[in-house]
Amino acid sequence: MLIGVGTSERIEQLTIRWPTGQEQSFTDLGVDREIVLTEGHSERIPLNFLADRDI
């Protein structure tokens, strides 16, 4: 999922409602990156978002 945050430098809180109905919140997320979030786990796995893009 791609989330646009305009000129914000951080995401204070992101709440996800998973297909199972469980809600999970993540706080203090950076922008301009891809992160893998997994239901039921608090770990954030960063991916190298800008490495393959010509910006």
Nearest to 43 by CA among 35, 33, 51: 35
Is the pLDDT confidence value at 51 over 70? no
User: Which residue did the predictor score with more confidence, 50 or 19?
Assistant: 19
Query: 31-46: buried (b, 16+ CB within 10 Å) or exposed (e) per residue?
Result: eeeeeebeeeeeeeee
pLDDT at position 43: 76
pTM of the complete model: 0.66
Per the structure block, which two tokens stand in for 3? 């989330």
**Domain containing residue 14:** 10-47
Q: Please write the tens of the pLDDT for every residue from 18-45.
A: 999 999 998 988 888 888 888 988 777 7
Per the structure block, which two tokens stand in for 26? 């993540």
Q: Is residue 3 part of a domain?
A: no
Q: Is residue 43 part of a domain?
A: yes
Return the SS3 of 25.
strand
If one counts the domains in the chain, the total is 1
Q: Is residue 42 part of a domain?
A: yes
Q: Is residue 54 part of a domain?
A: no
Per the structure block, which two tokens stand in for 50? 């800008």
Per the structure block, which two tokens stand in for 27? 């706080």
